Structure 1
């Protein structure tokens, strides 16, 4: 999300990073700070591309984001979990669209650009969630360019 207001009545900067970033994890993927996952492919530290197609789940409370994380680990689709749990962009399944380097701040951007593209059916996502001033984000990306 841009550092300022969101586009088209969006979430007003809620995808800006802060707090700590995490490794990536899909269903049955690697634990904690590891940066590999097995669900939709591997999530590895990768500097390629200047734009990514981002989805996220934003929850103000840690307990709620952890409920969302359990749904993802149980195999529920990312967009469905976002619709049910996210407090931002829920009507769009957490889709923030294409974002470029510099349009997100700090650890949100760092975590997002470390992920490899995956699908909502088999997402590779940040685990643990990334904390910002807006709450806790579970981030996945669908493409790089």
Structure 2
């Protein structure tokens, strides 16, 4: 499942064109906010849309062991769940101050993920 939007500001045709111009990558550095309940993920999403830093919201809301700002580090293709990877590899890299993230959250067997990508190689 590919992300439907990029941020609380909505997506435009220009952003869609940028997504198609992503260079192929075999390794990505991601952060995520993982919530078991959809309502909690939506609450975190609202704070991001209001301009909060991604890592701060991850520390407050994420329910997994990557609570250090949601940082999962560098992961090679094939090491994450398929739905997570599909969404992550479709995102442009961004920063925690101005994140580009999956909106709506991505559902996996672990719960609901709000994903951002910090780097690609």
| TM-score normalised by structure 1 residue count | 0.75
Corresponding residue pairs, total = 120
Per-residue deviation, residues 6-57 of structure 1 (Å, max 9, x unmatched): xxxxxxxxxxxxxx442341241328xx8937xxxx8614351111100000
| TM-score normalised by structure 2 residue count | 0.88
Alignment-derived partner of residue 73 in structure 1:
49
Unpaired segments ≥5 residues, structure 2: none
Unpaired segments ≥5 residues, structure 1: 1-19
Q: Provide the C-alpha distance between the structure 1 equivalents of 2:15 and 2:111, rounded to a whole number of angstroms.
A: 25
What is the 5 A alignment of 1:1-145? 20-30=1-11, 36=15, 44-45=19-20, 46=22, 48-89=24-65, 91-145=67-121
After superposition, the CA RMSD in angstroms is 2.2
With 59-68 and 81-90 compared, the bigger mean Cα shift is at 81-90
Q: Provide the C-alpha distance between the structure 2 equivalents of 1:85 and 1:29, rounded to a whole number of angstroms.
A: 23
Larger RCO (alpha carbons 8 Å, 6+ apart): 2
Cα 1:47–1:22 change in 2 (3 A) is same
Query: 4+ runs of 1 displaced by more than 4 Å?
Result: none
